[in-house]
A and B are shown apart, each in its own frame.
Chain A
Amino acid sequence: MTDATAATDIPAPKATYAIALAGQQNCGKSTLFNLLTGLRQHIANYPGVTVDKKAGVYAYNGKHYAVTDLPGAYSLATFSPEELVTRNALVHDRPDVVVNVIDATNLRRSLPLTFQILELGFKVVVALNMMDAAKKRGLEIDIEALSRRLGARVVPVVGRSGKGGEELRAAIAEAAAEPPATPATLNYGPLEEAVADIHARLAADARTNDITARWRAVKLIEDDDETHDALSGLLGGEATAIVEAAAGARSGFEEKHGLSAGDHISATRDRHAASILEECLTDTKAGHVPVSERVDRLVLNRFLAPVFLIGTVWAIYQLSIVQGYELTKVTWPILAGFRNIAADILPDAGFLVDPQVRALGLWIVDSVNTLLNYVPIFLILFALIAILEDTGYMARIAFILDRILHRFGLHGASTLPYILGGVFAGGCAVPGVMATKGIPDSRARMATILTVPFMNCMAKIPLYTLLINIYFAEAKGLMLFYLSTITVVVALLVARLLTGTVLRGEQTAPFVMELPAYHLPTVSGVARRAFDRTWLYIKKVGTVVVAIAVVIFVLLQFPGVSKESAAGYRAQAEAATAEFYAALEGNPYLAAVEDPAALISLVNVQATYKARRLNASSKEAAKKLDDGVRENYPEFVPFVLRDRDPNAKAAFNALRKLGNTRSTLRREMRSERIETSFLGMIGRSLEPVTQYANFDWKINIALLASFAARESSVATLGVLFDQEEGENATLEERMGEQQAEEGRGPLSAMVLMLFFALYPPCLATVIMVRVQTQSTGWMTFSIIFPTLLGLVVASAVYTSAAALGLSGLQTMTAVYLAAVALLLLVALPKPWLPDIFSRSPQEDAS
């Protein structure tokens, strides 16, 4: 539990107390943690979000307090990783004070954990959170009586508004300064004698005589494996006698009362909670239906629930993806501005070959810009998701959809990762995979991690749009519908396949989940999480993208064009330059460019001017650009800006011709460089495999490049399908023509899109898979499996469709219907199958 101690690393005087925040899920622990420490961190209403341990420090009256936020745990049993982490942090790290956060609206459920923490012998401060909600609910709590019955300080707080924070700090300071507490004793009735006996045996040995002795005695009688192990670790062989005594007491009790000791202990705590509440709690609105339940009668209504759900998902899509794209139109010029600045700073371009520093620098800026372009979308998306989590609706989504998802080995909580990954069109698998942290069931979680990348992330869209515009212009809507929904179908089928095979051995967890009361989210809470998650995305993905951009750059640039053809290009360039000078013979403006270095500078100025003029959004901007040229390069004005003067016209035309020749030469060189590059070689060497799916080497290169970042597939194709002359034809036209010459039509395009839909996650996602699964093996699997699946499906579809002579659209329809049919076949009960086949993977739960 290094995290817990990490907090104490922060420089502090010796007087630093270790404080642990413990509480059940949805009790507002994270909000209180923020209140105490002011540290940024994750809060959510969705059960199980706080899986990591978080630490922070605050100072109060000259003393320092290192606070650890423990994961939400309903009890100190060790059935979930959260509970295990919490228990270990308490038992092994022994914080000075435990702040037990409890939900004031849910005391009966909360108190048993409080008893267990008290039993462990800690100095406890009970933070009675959500007092505002309790008041609204009509609950009157006698704080003094509660404090007396518990034998601990009880501080009423409202975490959301910060009320009670000062009192809580004061109570913690008082408790920390006190001498150690006497462990509380809860009377276990018929088992009490046995508990006392085991406790005495443990207390008799110096190695086990500490504050946890009584708690350990109870755990031993409960037959808790972890405690057995811990005891053996402490006492070695001597532990056996104590364990046997506990086992004897347990079986004696169970025989006599026909009830398991564990149940009795749990029931004793529950009854004790009830008896305390009888004294401390008045319910002035008993019998009233809680507001949340009244809302749920509508929201979870059999017929209305799907309406609300679809409406919500539609609203998320509209606000984040559609409106977010509108926003990127505003932010893109800013990013383009960065690129211009970079272009100005980097060494100037040469006539034919640019310095490598310039090429690499711009390449990196472009890669980073593509990534940053999505930031507005992510901000909106993450804010909306935070609202869904904080209001409590996310848990309801899990409740509504679990039935379907469970059929495929997934979990209701898989919905959030899928939405983030882009259920419709436009998401990102990186936050999607990140969000799987909240899924309690390990097998479902793994299946979700491995299938989220099938969703249509925003970077897949450009390739779809490109190909659909070329080949399916008349059936645009239908094709997009097919592509955006088939990925969900495939993801579900793959999830079912994986959970039934390679994931069979993974642990499953029961679906028993709290539906938290509805809360109004706070603006600061939502904004904080939206920014945190976006920042995490930029940080995690940004570094990877830069690294990969460099690798791909090298693979595309080297070994470079051959010496002979380089000489050929140079000769052509020289010829063009000579022609330029010949055209300017006797022209008074020639003087400005007689020096070859000045000519290169002129060509660059003109190229930059042209590019910026294209992007100039208004007349004023264009005028400003013109003025800039007049001011900075007065001698180039006749060449760059149009003029009626015949000499200037001649200069302008000569330069335009030279400029066009130059860009053609550069494009040809680039194309040849890519063809002969390492990546080009790989693309060609893959042709024997990919020919069955009808991918040529150009497409192979684009697909390989897209592994770095999906956006680059279209950029790479743009380079590879370069036109010969002029810049009039769009990439759509160029690619369509060239591919048609090579005998590729709509069918090939459709197969390519299908492959792209199934294609492995991009590198950033793969890194996130590694982080979330903690396994390089699964990371490798997440690359290889989809590649094979995609290739097999694409090859099978292409080969059979070509044999049957189907058109692209017909094939897509057939594939779609087949996938949906398979989905239904898997989903619907199969009473006609023998039992062994119909058994779903969940049923092997151990």
Chain B
Amino acid sequence: MKRAFFRKGQGKGWGRRHHHGARVGALTLDQVAPGTDIAIQRICGQGPVRQRLLDFGFQPGRVVTMLRNAPMGDPIEIQVGDTFIALRRREAAHVEVRPADEQADDTTAAPSTDSAETPK
């Protein structure tokens, strides 16, 4: 479990942010294995990270692909449509996801997610 060890070191300070961040137990983008398709569930947190993620197309309902870890495990690369985004794990921890084939979680379903489209 070498990576988990590293992640602890990296993510420690994020702790404070986690409180108003992802819900406990929720699957977040930093926990996804490379090569997996996932659907965006919710973006937590405030400010620049959130805005930038939304700008890059991390919209609830959108299906994205976790492509790879950087050689040293952090940052990670995500494919959103034709855009390739690198982000640090601590930023990825802001993004709640669900497996791409699973239905939207109703408690957070926005009026928007009803039209959640499959990726082009």
Contact = CB atoms under 8 A, between A and B. Distances in A.
Contact of B70 (A79, A300, A842): A300
Contact of B111 (A189, A283, A839): A189
Interface string B40-63: 000100011101111111011010
Interface stretch (B19-27, B80-88, B96-104): B80-88
Interface string A618-647: 000000000000000000000000000000
B83 A106 contact: yes
Contacts of A301: 71
Given A112-B55, A306-B71, A268 B47 contact: no
B71 A400 contact: yes
Given A399-B86, A839-B13, A842-B13, A268 B112 contact: yes
Contact of A264 (B52, B107, B111): B111
Range of interface residues on chain B? 35 or more
B46 to A, nearest CB: 9
Contacts of A843: 12-14, 16
Interface in A273-328: 274, 277, 281, 283, 286, 290, 292-293, 296, 300-303, 305-306
A815 to B, nearest CB: 27
Contacts of A292: 84
B110 A264 contact: yes
Nearest to A277: B120
B120 A829 contact: no
Interface in A801-827: none
Contact of A511 (B69, B88, B112): B88
Contacts of A412: 75
B88 A399 contact: no
A267 B60 contact: yes
Q: Which of A267, A283, A406 has the most CB of B within 10 A?
A: A267
A835 B15 CA distance: 11
Given A109-B83, A306-B71, A274 B117 contact: yes
B60 A512 contact: no
Nearest to B53: A512
A515 B57 contact: no
B120 to A, nearest CB: 6
A511 B75 contact: yes
Contacts of B85: 512-515
A75 interface: yes
B108 A77 contact: no
Nearest to B91: A510
Contacts, number: 170
Q: Most chain-B Cβ atoms within 10 A of its Cβ — which of A77, A257, A404, A517? A: A77
B110 A258 contact: yes
Interface string A328-349: 0000000000000000000000
Contacts of A399: 70, 75, 77, 86
Contacts of A286: 120
B77 A300 contact: yes
B52 A74 contact: yes
Contact of B87 (A108, A277, A512): A512
A667 interface: no
Nearest to A24: B55
A831 B83 contact: no
Nearest to B84: A515
Q: Which of B14, B54, B87, B91 has the most CB of A within 10 A?
A: B54
Contacts of B56: 74, 109, 512, 514
B57 A831 contact: no
A190 interface: yes
A843 B13 CA distance: 5
Contact of A259 (B52, B82, B110): B110
Interface string A472-516: 000000000000000000000000000000000000011111111
A108 B107 CA distance: 27
A267 B110 contact: yes
Interface magnitude class on chain A: 35 or more
Contacts of A844: 13
Given A259-B111, A843-B12, A510 B48 contact: yes
Q: Binding site of B, secondary structure by majority: helix, strand, loop or mixed? A: mixed
Name the residue among B10, B69, B84 with the largest chain A CB count within 10 angstroms: B84
A667 B91 CA distance: 65
B9 to A, nearest CB: 3
Contacts of B83: 106, 109, 514
B51 A829 contact: no
A77 B51 CA distance: 8
A77 B117 CA distance: 25
A270 B91 contact: no
B111 A305 contact: no
A508 B16 CA distance: 16
B117 to A, nearest CB: 6
A293 B68 CA distance: 11
Residue from B14, B68, B117 whose CB has the most chain A CB atoms within 10 Å: B68
B51 A75 contact: yes
A293 B66 CA distance: 13
A302 B71 contact: yes
Contacts of B117: 271, 274
Given A270-B59, A406-B88, A258 B108 contact: yes
A80 interface: yes
B53 to A, nearest CB: 6
A258 B77 CA distance: 30
Contacts of A395: 86
A657 B91 CA distance: 77
B48 A509 contact: yes
B48 A108 contact: no
A5 interface: no
A259 B52 CA distance: 18
Contact of A106 (B16, B81, B111): B81
B120 A512 contact: no
Interface string A682-700: 0000000000000000000
Contacts of A831: 8-9
A578 B9 CA distance: 82
B20 to A, nearest CB: 13
B43 to A, nearest CB: 7
A395 B107 CA distance: 38
A277 B55 CA distance: 17
A263 B109 CA distance: 12
A730 interface: no
Nearest to A513: B86
Contacts of B12: 835, 838-839, 843
Contact of A270 (B8, B57, B120): B57
Nearest to A844: B13
Nearest to B61: A267
B67 interface: yes
| Residue of B8, B55, B57, B75 most packed against chain A (CB within 10 A) | B55
Nearest to B74: A403
A838 B80 CA distance: 34
A112 B59 CA distance: 12
A510 B88 contact: yes
Nearest to A257: B111
Contacts of A109: 55-57, 80-83
Nearest to A508: B48
A795 interface: no
A257 B53 CA distance: 21
Contacts of B70: 300, 305, 399-400, 402-403
5 contacts: A266-B55, A290-B82, A302-B71, A828-B9, A829-B8
Interface of A: 74-75, 77, 79-80, 105-106, 108-109, 112, 137, 189-190, 257-259, 263-264, 266-268, 270-271, 274, 277, 281, 283, 286, 290, 292-293, 296, 300-303, 305-306, 395, 398-400, 402-404, 406, 412, 509-517, 828-831, 835, 838-840, 842-844
Given A267-B112, A400-B71, A828-B9, 19 more contacts: A75-B51, A106-B83, A109-B80, A270-B54, A271-B112, A293-B84, A296-B68, A300-B68, A301-B71, A306-B71, A412-B75, A511-B88, A512-B49, A512-B85, A513-B85, A516-B84, A829-B8, A839-B12, A844-B13
